[in-house]
Amino acid sequence: MGNKEPQGKLGVMIVGLGAVATTFITGVLRARKNLSNPIGSLTQYDKIRVTENGEEKYLGYKDIIPLSGLDDLVFGAWDIFSDNAFQSAIKAKVLHPEELKTVENELKSIHPMKAVFDNEYVSRLHGDNVKASSNRWDMANQIREDIRNFRKKTGVSRIVVLWTASTEKYLKPDLKIHGEIEFLENAMKADDRMNISPSMCYAYASIAEGCPFIMGAPNTALDIPAIWKFAEKMSVPVAGKDFKTGQTLVKSGLAPIIAMRCLGLSGWFSTNILGNRDGLVLDEPDNFKSKEISKLSTLETILDPKLQPNLYNDYCHEVKINFYPPRNDNKESWDNIDIFGWMGYPMQIKINFLCRDSILAAPLCLDLVLLIDAAQRAGKSGFQKFLGFFFKSPMYDYTKNEIPDNNLYTQYMSLRKTICEMGGYHLTDHC
Amino acid sequence: MGNKEPQGKLGVMIVGLGAVATTFITGVLRARKNLSNPIGSLTQYDKIRVTENGEEKYLGYKDIIPLSGLDDLVFGAWDIFSDNAFQSAIKAKVLHPEELKTVENELKSIHPMKAVFDNEYVSRLHGDNVKASSNRWDMANQIREDIRNFRKKTGVSRIVVLWTASTEKYLKPDLKIHGEIEFLENAMKADDRMNISPSMCYAYASIAEGCPFIMGAPNTALDIPAIWKFAEKMSVPVAGKDFKTGQTLVKSGLAPIIAMRCLGLSGWFSTNILGNRDGLVLDEPDNFKSKEISKLSTLETILDPKLQPNLYNDYCHEVKINFYPPRNDNKESWDNIDIFGWMGYPMQIKINFLCRDSILAAPLCLDLVLLIDAAQRAGKSGFQKFLGFFFKSPMYDYTKNEIPDNNLYTQYMSLRKTICEMGGYHLTDHC
Amino acid sequence: MGNKEPQGKLGVMIVGLGAVATTFITGVLRARKNLSNPIGSLTQYDKIRVTENGEEKYLGYKDIIPLSGLDDLVFGAWDIFSDNAFQSAIKAKVLHPEELKTVENELKSIHPMKAVFDNEYVSRLHGDNVKASSNRWDMANQIREDIRNFRKKTGVSRIVVLWTASTEKYLKPDLKIHGEIEFLENAMKADDRMNISPSMCYAYASIAEGCPFIMGAPNTALDIPAIWKFAEKMSVPVAGKDFKTGQTLVKSGLAPIIAMRCLGLSGWFSTNILGNRDGLVLDEPDNFKSKEISKLSTLETILDPKLQPNLYNDYCHEVKINFYPPRNDNKESWDNIDIFGWMGYPMQIKINFLCRDSILAAPLCLDLVLLIDAAQRAGKSGFQKFLGFFFKSPMYDYTKNEIPDNNLYTQYMSLRKTICEMGGYHLTDHC
Amino acid sequence: MGNKEPQGKLGVMIVGLGAVATTFITGVLRARKNLSNPIGSLTQYDKIRVTENGEEKYLGYKDIIPLSGLDDLVFGAWDIFSDNAFQSAIKAKVLHPEELKTVENELKSIHPMKAVFDNEYVSRLHGDNVKASSNRWDMANQIREDIRNFRKKTGVSRIVVLWTASTEKYLKPDLKIHGEIEFLENAMKADDRMNISPSMCYAYASIAEGCPFIMGAPNTALDIPAIWKFAEKMSVPVAGKDFKTGQTLVKSGLAPIIAMRCLGLSGWFSTNILGNRDGLVLDEPDNFKSKEISKLSTLETILDPKLQPNLYNDYCHEVKINFYPPRNDNKESWDNIDIFGWMGYPMQIKINFLCRDSILAAPLCLDLVLLIDAAQRAGKSGFQKFLGFFFKSPMYDYTKNEIPDNNLYTQYMSLRKTICEMGGYHLTDHC
């Protein structure tokens, strides 16, 4: 409804041409050739039961709202390393080299532009494909120019900017700096490096150019009123933060079981081993803090001590991430959950998830790019709650005492309801 | 709304005074004395967000519909062993003896009536507290008389009959025998032991006496049109089957995560070790078959190959139960789940649930007894879909191509929606 | 000492050209080309600390006793399917196709001879590359002829016969039939199919031709005095049974920890999922019985109730194998171990082994072939206790109340001591 | 042989009257009354096969060497908290209160003497049962006086001092301070707090009084030549360090399986959750370092990269300990082990050990006390290698390039061989 049909190509400009980005791109390129399936993508697979003319039927998302097709995507990227997408994908060791070779030429044609970067925010990485810049405002302007050049060069009609780069060190939002657009712009111009992260420059630049921005890492770039207001003013939707992939995906699905059954919780211990660049960056305590805050928040609103003080008071929730090189991208999580039931008797659940970071993140990239573009065409702007399903830390307005929804099931319902509304359909699923 | 306030005491007549029943009773008795909490019970803990006079608030179930209180319950039982509830609880080794001693007198006063029993249906158990009976019709009549006597003796105003006894060998429903009330009655009178299980006699007798019946085991006693029609005719609600406690509880909560994320499934292997009487009975292949059919059905409607042939075609789903005496009632499950994602890459999830059979089942007993009684007072009859949340194999009308709902989340929504409807409230939860 | 240097080539005739055999062969062929390493092989990697002229040093097995080199092996095979080794390896899905292609020609040149087979013993497999035979004696004679032809055709100087084919249904040894050579020969001639398995025919034929025989499956072909006596008479060493690969390998290493620490055991539950042909065959209860007996025996002599009645009395030991096709050859085991310590307090150990059947079996094939050949050259005959390290059910003379050694560590010491003795060295390792 | 019969009572003076100590004492007291069994104790259960007069038989340790009986032990303690043993045991929540009550009087009679303590070494604990002292030399002298008083008061003929107190922060041995007795004494007199830990004062005092000293924590008090020389000079045996209880026990038993099978290792990730006082202390990085160094050393000598560079080069070994209060003393470990086999194919082993810290440590206390006393009577002095079986970091002379033995099996052999030698028997076990 009011959702305009996509015209022309859709540019996807990715910050960070690493494991996630190259896996996403390769999967799209191979799907175009029918060489592999974009499994895990809701825009490509999920079906919604709707009623049309009194008849029940299942429709895919594309049948409900106009979405760009896989053939319509045109990729660009920034990275602090100069490897092209093929070289980067080989080094990432996520996908079999034979599979990469089937789209070798396409991948090799994607050369990353120089990135804006500040080693203070990601101390473990040292790349040389970095722009010189005089201050944060200059950083943002250079990115804006990159976006305009990309648009010109490729002829795409719309662009989405997607952050798949590293976790920055924790930057706590401060309303005096991040509360209003002018405050933010002033701090950028004053080169306030303490309070302006490079990812904020990308977000600002993207919105300034009218491009939706997606934050896949736990960086707080989008978690500030200045950005929300700017996005609304520019009619740009934004979404974040931190792709919900492995452990937190399962946690946000399992915790509701405990809550629904009114079982008590005394502790939840979560540990992770991973060996990719993400693991290397998070081995630094400052950067881990961003991730930890994001991961810990999951349980709070599902197992709520205020609502159920006899069940969820004072439970111990620990999240650890360990850099363990033998695993590369094949991260693994182990959870121990201590619950109690009837008459207080204790029980335990252990979950061991042998997953793959980029394999789980890639379909989220595709879905978020397609859906945020559709949202923009449908006239939506500011942060998009209906996309919370895809994130560890869904956005919410903390200045208004809003409570974030971390329950995977209600997130899913919210996503589908919004899609139906955008398409003018009525969701008739079970609940 | 039309839901009558409960008057007088509520009789709870339990078939099988074993581990589950004595844990349920002990927990209720101790809760009355504020010695322990009925954790895991939705009627005692869960809260629903409703809007009243434009104001949002959270209400417990008791605030929405009239429910009997814990003080109103009066317990009776049948069992093939003559141990009283205290002796049986000690032997079950579920609860600490010191806890049992705090309600020793109350437990000792519960002596099981003689049960109707057929060794052909439960070959591993040999009890001597068994009624002599000439045929299945006589069995049902003797139970009816027990119910009438219990009502007279205790003065309860209403009675619910709850099956917590053993799993019988698999009895496949046959519409020629189980399709109509008369067929069923004729088969009982003709003593058709092949097609009439003892549990059917309990269900029939219970309904005939106007008492709701709950089937906690995977027995098919309630899965037949004759019983549905009889229940409707007698204005009696029934609910089953097979309490959703350990592994299947987690499975019905975890499988939707896979489905919601459009990840593929190639296999799900589930094994269990348990050492209680349940484990002993299920060590017999004929009896295990009842359980297996019940447990296997869980995934079919959540991960549906017809709706998603590329994701859920031909997956291998295996469920095993192993009798392992060292564990007693502390059953444990181990699941290995083989999923695949983007471009078909495989991943694995393992779940190890160290649970307690009776601890998980007891709060379901309490909730089902209170809710089915409320349903009867609200005028409901026949099988109750809204109670499917509590069962591994929720009832549905398979003669009309209905599809059962196995998704824990939609079951939960359905439960709460019905409770709100019964109470005249509008559910305003997230979705 | 007295161990003759190997002269000429060593023929390796393998019964069953399936996953294990083709993985073994491929690994040897690739190692010859320096394309991969024969990891897991003691003959290629293990070192023994010895003292020579007062000086301590570490020697490989090849430096202690004369062993054939990888270049000296010449492969032949029997199978009920006519696929050559390349085709079979591709179907087995154990090794990456690219790796197989590097030795494609060599693999393609290995065509299996027709096998002798009896569907009664392996009911789940149906192959057509099977010899016609009039009786068991004729079966053995045809195999003998195959061996003689192979020797002639290839010019090898010595031959070892290695069973890597399927598990047969359980055949309980009966001294009246299997106690003496003549009894056995008579039963073969009388075509006593009940008591003479096809694998016995292979073992008999192999010994008759002077070739050592290795039983990699749990078949009882070698567990009979008739074969031991025949082997001694013919100066042929034999070894078995049942390669110790995944779960039992860990079990035979972990159980001694419990024993050494004098901790008690109340139960050990072992389950397995595997999807290869082995899993298919063992899905048949008759065949599983052979495996179960073999696997259950492991604990008996390590955690001995006679020696430690307070610690190891009446523990529950269960072993399950489940056919689970999604896994192919990548079998996985899960063990739950219930132990108790100081004052009887219970503790639990869980082990989850994600292993690969053929990857673990292949180096055992190599070691057994090389070591049994060396043993023969050193003048050893009959069953070889020092090779017990490699087997789930090491051979022992049950007619003389011998006790088998299942402890991995003492097996390892025994292996190394014998090798040192054969080589004239004195083992100076720690103990 | 030459091992003198024990005369009189044996005093056991324990530093740290916490969970381990009270569990040890309670188990001994209850065993005296036949109320529970000292399971896990080799001195009470293990049997050795010996040959006497040409006959094989199994003998317990007590039949081979003279050992004090459980009735001969007299307990004393120091602690920074003034709780008596009963109060401390109740707070530790290791044993059921009903069990403690059966020896309540005996436990209540054990009042801890004031401890010497330095908050710099254990920053998370704050006790007030602490001696005032002017310097380290004074500390040692006060402890010596306590020992002499205890001897006088109780009339015991011999005393062993056992450290079960907290892990101190890491103190790296420095030969200039810890290399000679005089250096050490001078540093104590000079009150060199940086280089003299409180546990060194206990060790020094104990040896000065002629009492064997056992270090159950990872403190380096015994890991210095000054102490070795002093112990030899005073004819006192000492043993340490760090009781081998949960994860490391399994690790030191499992790693040899990998080594014996010549499988490769790419990584071993070990994590732990525990909630007792030990967990609290180790939550401090300085203290964890002591533990980490101790735990990491286990693999080095079992999976030796110098001996097997193709198998054990550059593997990643991580050990984590997490303070997780819901677990109290019931610590739990999770290990992920990445191995590789034939042709380099990877496999994984996961171990989840639900253990109990004090239940595993208590029998080690008993065995070490009895065996070190026997060693002293047999004339042994200095550090005792044969007791390495009980420790995570067995002692060895690192100034002489000795290599520690971490292999549980060879440690076990060494223990039993020494016991046989002390008793004049010849060990005839398998290897």
Q: Supply the pLDDT for residue C165.
A: 94
Q: Where are the beta strands (DSSP E) in B251-396?
A: 264-274, 316-323, 332-340, 346-354, 382-383
Euclidean distance between CA atoms B108 and D1, whole angstroms: 63
- Tokens 């974030």 correspond to A404
Q: Supply the pLDDT for residue D366.
A: 98
In this complex, is the C-beta atom of B410 within 8 Å of any C-beta atom belonging to chain A?
yes
Cβ atoms of A211 and A375 within 8 Å: the answer is no
Q: Which structure tokens are listed for A409? A: 């099931």
Euclidean distance between CA atoms C251 and C256, whole angstroms: 9
Q: Is the peptide bond before D169 cis (omega within 30 degrees of 0)?
A: no
- Cβ separation A356–B344 shorter than 8 A: no
Q: What is the mean pLDDT of residues B338-362?
A: 95
In this complex, is the C-beta atom of C343 within 8 Å of any C-beta atom belonging to chain D?
yes
Q: Which residues of D touch A335 (CB under 8 A)?
A: none
Euclidean distance between CA atoms C38 and A68, whole angstroms: 51
In this complex, is the C-beta atom of B34 within 8 Å of any C-beta atom belonging to chain A?
no
Q: Which amino acid is at D329?
A: D
**Nearest CB neighbour to B355, from listed A307, A347, A351:** A347
C430 pLDDT higher than 60: no
Euclidean distance between CA atoms B300 and B297, whole angstroms: 6
Closest chain D CA to residue A332: D336
Q: How far is D176 from chain C (nearest CA, A)?
A: 33
In this complex, is the C-beta atom of A285 within 8 Å of any C-beta atom belonging to chain D?
no
Euclidean distance between CA atoms B166 and D134, whole angstroms: 73
Closest chain C CA to residue D96: C345
| Gyration radius of chain A's alpha carbons | 21
Q: How far is C15 from chain D (nearest CA, A)?
A: 21
- Cβ separation C344–D37 shorter than 8 A: yes
CB atoms within 10 A of CB A389: 26
Q: Is the peptide bond before D320 cis (omega within 30 degrees of 0)?
A: no
Straight-line distance from the first to the last Cα atom of chain D, in angstroms, rounded to the nearest whole number: 24
Non-local (6+) Cβ contacts of A153 within 8 A are none
Q: How far is D37 from chain A (nearest CA, A)?
A: 27
In this structure, which long-range contacts are made by residues C34-38, counting pairs with CB atoms below 8 Å and at least 24 apart in sequence?
A: C35/C99, C35/C102, C36/C99, C36/D343, C36/D344, C37/D310, C37/D343, C37/D344, C38/C70, C38/C363, C38/C366, C38/D342, C38/D343
- Cβ separation A349–B348 shorter than 8 A: no
Q: Supply the pLDDT for residue A287.
A: 81
C431 pLDDT higher than 50: no
Kindly state the DSSP code that residue D286 receives in the 8-state scheme: H
> CA-CA distances (angstroms) from residue A271 to A166, A394, C190, D276, D348?
20, 22, 65, 20, 17
Q: Which residues of A touch D324 (CB under 8 A)?
A: 267, 269, 316, 318
In this complex, is the C-beta atom of C315 within 8 Å of any C-beta atom belonging to chain B?
yes
Cβ atoms of A293 and A169 within 8 Å: the answer is no
Q: Which residues of D touch A337 (CB under 8 A)?
A: none
**Nearest CB neighbour to C40, from listed D261, D409, D412:** D261
**Nearest CB neighbour to D273, from listed A269, A324, A352:** A269
- Cβ separation B273–C273 shorter than 8 A: no
Mutant choice from A270, A273, A331 vs D, greatest count of D C-beta within 10 A: A273
Pairing of strands C332-340, C346-354: antiparallel
Cβ atoms of D323 and C51 within 8 Å: the answer is no
Cβ atoms of B365 and B24 within 8 Å: the answer is yes
- Cβ separation D409–C348 shorter than 8 A: no
Q: Supply the pLDDT for residue B159.
A: 98
Q: Supply the pLDDT for residue B431.
A: 36
Cβ atoms of C131 and C142 within 8 Å: the answer is yes
In this complex, is the C-beta atom of C316 within 8 Å of any C-beta atom belonging to chain B?
yes
Mutant choice from C330, C334, C335, C348 vs B, greatest count of B C-beta within 10 A: C334
In this complex, is the C-beta atom of D327 within 8 Å of any C-beta atom belonging to chain A?
yes
- Cβ separation A324–D316 shorter than 8 A: yes
Q: Supply the pLDDT for residue A374.
A: 96
Closest chain D CA to residue A314: D326
Beta bridge partners, D316, equal D267
CB atoms within 10 A of CB B291: 22
In this complex, is the C-beta atom of C326 within 8 Å of any C-beta atom belonging to chain B?
yes
- Cβ separation C338–B315 shorter than 8 A: no
Range in A219-223, A348-352, B277-281, B397-401 with the lowest mean pLDDT: B277-281
Q: Supply the pLDDT for residue A328.
A: 84
Euclidean distance between CA atoms C252 and C244, whole angstroms: 9
Secondary structure element (H or E) that encloses residue B57, with its range: strand B55-60
Euclidean distance between CA atoms D325 and A269, whole angstroms: 11
**Nearest CB neighbour to C334, from listed B325, B326, B334:** B334
Range in B9-13, B85-89, B115-119 with the lowest mean pLDDT: B115-119
B362 pLDDT higher than 90: yes
The predicted-structure confidence for C333-359, as pLDDT tens digits, reads as follows 999 999 999 999 999 999 999 999 999
pTM: 0.92
Secondary structure element (H or E) that encloses residue C154, with its range: helix C136-154
Nearest to B266, CA basis, from C327, C277, C271: C327
Q: How far is A316 from chain D (nearest CA, A)?
A: 7
Beta bridge partners, C287, equal none
Q: How far is B77 from chain C (nearest CA, A)?
A: 33
Q: Which residues of D touch A326 (CB under 8 A)?
A: 266-267, 315-316, 338
In this complex, is the C-beta atom of D316 within 8 Å of any C-beta atom belonging to chain A?
yes
Euclidean distance between CA atoms C193 and C215, whole angstroms: 20
In this complex, is the C-beta atom of A352 within 8 Å of any C-beta atom belonging to chain D?
yes
**Nearest CB neighbour to B267, from listed C267, C271, C326:** C326
Model confidence at C429, pLDDT cuts 50, 70, 90, reads low
In this complex, is the C-beta atom of D269 within 8 Å of any C-beta atom belonging to chain A?
yes
In this complex, is the C-beta atom of A261 within 8 Å of any C-beta atom belonging to chain B?
yes
Q: Which structure tokens are listed for B426? A: 């509008």
Number of H helices, E strands in chain C: 17, 13
Q: Supply the pLDDT for residue B1.
A: 44
B6 pLDDT higher than 70: yes
Nearest to D383, CA basis, from D242, D241, D239, D227: D239
The predicted-structure confidence for D313-341, as pLDDT tens digits, reads as follows 989 999 998 999 998 888 999 999 999 99
Complete DSSP assignment for C313-344: TT-EEEEEEEE-GGGTT--EEEEEEEEE-GGG
Closest chain D CA to residue A338: D326
* Higher per-residue pLDDT: D427 or C30: C30
Q: Supply the pLDDT for residue D3.
A: 60
SS3 B258: helix
Is residue D52 exposed (0-12), middle (13-18) or buried (19+ Cβ within 10 Å)? exposed
Pairing of strands A264-274, A332-340: antiparallel
C395 pLDDT higher than 80: yes
Mutant choice from C57, C261, C359 vs D, greatest count of D C-beta within 10 A: C261
Euclidean distance between CA atoms C394 and D430, whole angstroms: 15
Closest chain D CA to residue A331: D336
> CA-CA distances (angstroms) from residue D356 to A399, B119, B292, C18, C341?
47, 44, 36, 46, 9
Q: Supply the pLDDT for residue A429.
A: 61
Kindly state the DSSP code that residue B217 receives in the 8-state scheme: S
Q: Which residues of B touch A99 (CB under 8 A)?
A: 343
Nearest to A268, CA basis, from A309, A308, A228, A299: A299
Q: How far is C243 from chain D (nearest CA, A)?
A: 13
Phi, psi of D76 (to 5 degrees): -135, 170
ipTM for this prediction: 0.93
- Cβ separation A39–B410 shorter than 8 A: no
Q: Supply the pLDDT for residue B192.
A: 95
Euclidean distance between CA atoms D428 and A72, whole angstroms: 78
Question: What percentage of chain B reaches a pLDDT higher than 70?
Answer: 98
Q: Which residues of B266-289 are buried (b: 16+ CB within 10 A; e: fewer)?
A: bbbbbbbbbbbbbbbbbebebbbb
Q: How far is A418 from chain B (nearest CA, A)?
A: 11
In this complex, is the C-beta atom of B388 within 8 Å of any C-beta atom belonging to chain A?
no
Pairing of strands C10-15, C73-79: parallel
Q: Which residues of B touch C320 (CB under 8 A)?
A: 271, 320, 322
Total beta-carbon pairs less than 8 A apart between chain A and chain D:
51
Q: Which amino acid is at C383?
A: F
Chains that touch B (3 or more CB pairs under 8 A): A, C
Nearest to B296, CA basis, from B268, B257, B333, B338: B268
Chains that touch D (3 or more CB pairs under 8 A): A, C
Q: Supply the pLDDT for residue C80.
A: 95
Q: Supply the pLDDT for residue A1.
A: 44
Q: How far is D98 from chain C (nearest CA, A)?
A: 13
Q: Supply the pLDDT for residue C1.
A: 43
The predicted-structure confidence for D226-259, as pLDDT tens digits, reads as follows 999 999 999 999 999 999 998 888 888 899 999 9
Total beta-carbon pairs less than 8 A apart between chain C and chain D:
217
Secondary structure element (H or E) that encloses residue D86, with its range: helix D85-92
Model confidence at B57, pLDDT cuts 50, 70, 90, reads confident
Q: Which structure tokens are listed for A303? A: 């197992």
- Cβ separation B413–A430 shorter than 8 A: yes
- Cβ separation B37–A310 shorter than 8 A: yes
Q: Which residues of chain D have pLDDT under 50?
A: 1-2, 430-431
- Cβ separation A316–D326 shorter than 8 A: yes
Per-residue pLDDT of chain A (431 residues; tens, 9 = 90+): 445 688 899 999 999 999 999 999 999 999 999 999 999 999 999 999 888 787 888 999 999 999 999 999 999 999 999 999 999 999 999 999 999 999 999 999 999 999 999 988 988 888 899 999 999 999 999 999 999 999 999 999 999 999 999 999 988 899 999 999 999 999 999 999 999 999 999 999 999 999 999 999 999 999 999 999 999 999 999 999 999 998 888 888 899 999 999 999 999 999 999 887 777 888 878 888 877 887 778 888 889 898 999 999 989 999 998 999 998 888 999 999 999 999 999 999 999 999 999 999 999 999 999 999 999 999 999 999 999 999 999 999 989 888 888 888 989 999 999 999 999 887 766 43
> Around B57, how many Cα atoms within 13 Å sit in the side-chain half-sphere?
10
